[in-house]
Chains A and B, each alone.
Chain A
Amino acid sequence: MTDFMLRAEAVTKDYVVGRNLLGQPARVVQAVRNVSLSIAPGSTLALVGESGSGKSTLGRCIAGLVRPSSGSIHLAGHDVLRLSGAALMSFRRQVQTIFQDPYSSLNPRRSVGDAIMDGMVIHKLYGPQQRRDRMHALLERVGLQADHAQRFPHQFSGGQRQRIAIARALAVEPRFIVADEAVSALDVSVKAQVLDLLADLQAEHQLTYLFISHDLGVVRHFADRVAIMSAGELVEEGECDQIFEAPRHEYTRNLIAAVPRPDPGRRRLRAAPE
């Protein structure tokens, strides 16, 4: 039964967007409808969908940042809907989230070194000197330098800030990482480097990833399994190559077909010159 790092069952998240005169919900939007998913330890599940598909809301439910309206989520040995006290602290350490824009998720007034050490302090991991050594080692591991520790987030490029966010997540020895559009804002070559880094770290630390993305090229390259969401529902889920080569649903087929290919021999919109 412990074959899963994550097991989410019938997860639903409603948002009340309007109330009547009596204060009762008059309009409810179902951001996530009855979604069930599981992820094996050490693997990557990509959650794919367009804006408004509910993929980020589901990711937040799984990371314990948003409470689902109904359903159950078991992650890293925790019942996510019944977390409190020591179990909540342990969950917060084991499950880390990396967001799209590290500039808004890093505190602009805290040095990069402090930002990386904060988690270790909160979770009472290591002694003061070990924390410092570990922070320096993490900076180097993610492709930065130990002497960058005194600098502040605004002194770094987008790709470097995302490396800092990764170092910060890794500092507390997590088992599960939710990466919500973590490489979407990066330039092509920087995106490639950060994806390679995430893959190496997964192998080194046996990390399990929930990789939320709208970029199908990145997903094909990075994911073991793929779940496609649309309008809050799970359209289909399967092994990566199967989803791309033999999608069962028309929605998935259209999505894959809409990706522009970097191959002028296959263009559809305009004829290529000569």
Chain B
Amino acid sequence: MTRDAEVLLSVKNLAVSFDTRQGTVAAVKGVDLTVRHGEVVCLVGESGSGKSVTGFSLMGLVDPPGRVTADELRFDGRDLLRASEREMDALRGKAISMVFQEPMTALNPGRTVGSQIAEVIRIHERTGREQAWKRAVDLLQRVGIREPAQRAKAYPHELSGGMRQRVMIAIACALTPQLIIADEPTTALDVTVQAQVLELLFSLQAETGAAVLFITHDLGVVAEIADRVVVMQGGRVVEEGGVRQIFEQPRQAYTQALLAAVPDVDAPRDRARRLSPPSSPGTEGTPQ
């Protein structure tokens, strides 16, 4: 209970805004976030809640005209607010890695998956071409891809969605990161494939002791994997707590409504049951 309790990532008053012709849009408005070593924190929210932008800003992946400010942004004792682009490059893909929702767009379609895994290894370590390729093949095997030596030579389009996400996980885990930021990594997958990919991700997580910041809108997945849950709405954190507290005693009306809106796959069909609150038509806002 020593290392587990140590803070790995500490974020205070994170704000992200984008300057547009129509004015400044604030996507994240003062978010505090803590992730401890080995902890799985789920960042939950609907479209536009700011959850993905929060994840991207931690990786230093928000480009101009986006502006990121914070009172504190510390990772493993380092002050990321003062880190140079070179220091960030050394961190990204190694100590902090990322798994995206759509591996088809995150992977390079013109290069074999093996070479893309090997590339990450060669960027961060002094490794020969052959050695890096061997490690890529080993990684493919570790993420459950059969005939890894053959598959390493495949292009992304030759693999199924689930396999591509396994490749992304292989890249993310290649250099035993301390923190994996996973942005809706299973949203595009079928439920049985989702179950397999989650099982893989969290068996690797248990093996390596990495912390995971898991960004999702799927409350079923959150209940399955989270230690702690951070609920976001409109760029702010509305509620934060242990996974049991959030699901069993949600304090905020927004969290309660979100949970009530999930149809229960185990509840007998009830034609009279309504999922949305009675006065809700048009809560998506008015058109611009």
Contacts and interface: CB of A to CB of B under 8 A. Distances in A.
A189 B261 contact: yes
B265 A263 contact: no
Interface in B274-288: 274-276, 280-285, 287-288
Interface in B140-183: 161
A245 B257 CA distance: 27
Contacts of A143: 281-282
A255 B192 CA distance: 6
Contacts of A214: 190-191
A182 to B, nearest CB: 14
Contact of B191 (A159, A216, A270): A216
B274 A151 contact: no
Interface stretch (B58-66, B116-124, B128-136, B216-224): B216-224
Contacts of A260: 194-195, 198, 218, 220-221, 223-224
B287 A151 contact: yes
A157 B282 CA distance: 10
Contacts of A245: 268
Contact of B284 (A50, A157, A267, A272): A157
A258 B262 contact: no
A166 to B, nearest CB: 12
A71 to B, nearest CB: 26
B47 A187 contact: yes
A154 to B, nearest CB: 9
Contacts of B195: 258, 260
B224 A190 contact: no
Contact of B202 (A191, A259, A269): A269
Contacts of A241: 268-269
A217 interface: yes
Interface stretch (B10-18, B25-33, B99-107, B242-250): B242-250
Interface residues of B, number: 56
A40 interface: no
Interface string A178-203: 00000000011111110111010000
Interface size range of chain A in the complex = 35 or more
B202 A196 contact: no
A262 B262 contact: yes
Interface stretch (A17-25, A77-85, A124-132, A218-226): A218-226
A109 to B, nearest CB: 17
A158 interface: yes
Contact of B265 (A192, A261, A265): A261
Contacts of A221: 263-264, 267, 269, 273, 275
Contact of A50 (B191, B199, B222): B191
Contacts of A103: none
Given A196-B275, A267-B223, A187 B265 contact: no
Contact of A217 (B47, B161, B193, B263): B263
B217 A187 contact: yes
A191 B257 CA distance: 13
Contact of B247 (A158, A159, A160, A263): A263
A191 B261 contact: yes
A264 B248 CA distance: 9
A198 B194 CA distance: 28
Given A220-B269, A273-B243, A155 B287 contact: yes
Contacts of A273: 227-228, 242-244
A270 B265 contact: no
B40 interface: yes
A269 B247 contact: no
A160 B276 CA distance: 15
Contact of B192 (A187, A258, A263, A270): A258
A35 B193 CA distance: 25
A220 B263 CA distance: 8
6 contacts: A188-B262, A196-B276, A262-B220, A264-B247, A269-B202, A270-B225
Given A144-B282, A191-B261, A267-B223, 10 more contacts: A50-B191, A156-B287, A158-B47, A187-B46, A189-B276, A199-B271, A217-B265, A221-B269, A245-B268, A261-B220
